[in-house]
Amino acid sequence: MGRGLLVALAVLAVVVAGYAGAGMIGGAIPANAGWRPPTRGIPVYLESNGVHVSLVLPKVAAGIDWRDWAPGADLADPRYARYDHIAIGWGERTFFLDTPTWADVRLATILHAAIGSDATLLHVEHVPTPAPGDGIRVVTLRPEEYRRLAAGIRASAAPVRRSFRGYGANDVFYAGTGHYSARRTCNAWVGATLANAGVRVGRWTPFPITVLSWF
């Protein structure tokens, strides 16, 4: 192995370690430090597959109705629209569309997303009420907090509606807005959306653990 390659690998290792360390520190510093959940309110779920966190919301709550925003007609099987919750995640378009399974993930796709892209999507799944457990957390919001959360999510959808076929029968992609990068990852979007709603969460949450550890 040449000296140049060794140096490049060493630099890459330092960059990755530095990014991981910065992410953990950013995730440990709270935004909205004084916030506490109400004893009664609207339950919102955070669902992680180990890499990506989605927000799972009731379709109708606090004056917000998602049924027209994400209609069953957009699904491969509209019958799934009968479920009472939707799971919403944000991310880079190429990564979303080209990796239906983890076996499809390629280094070039990861690097393309990390460098930065203005092509983003919202991934919307119609799902039943989640059961809290491994990889799933629940946070209770006040009605006004839930409405701010919903407004932040809707602001991440492109003004011109465009949908893309999902991975299965109960999900769909919609054109999004915003710039994806190593700094603003799918999980950082979740954290920022919660923070803008007034919820206590890490100031920068690039990894699933930096989101879930607060709940």
pLDDT digits (tens, 9 = 90+) for 50-69: 889 999 999 999 999 999 99
Whole-model pTM?
0.89
Predicted confidence at residue 132, as pLDDT, reads: 80
Q: Where are the domains of the chain?
A: 3-212
Predicted confidence at residue 146, as pLDDT, reads: 98
Predicted confidence at residue 103, as pLDDT, reads: 64
pLDDT tens for 131-178 read 888 889 999 999 999 999 999 999 999 999 999 999 999 999 999 999
What count of other Cβ atoms lies within 10 Å of the Cβ of residue 207?
A: 23
Please, which pLDDT band fits residue 105 given cuts at 50, 70 and 90? Answer: low
- Is residue 45 over pLDDT 90? yes
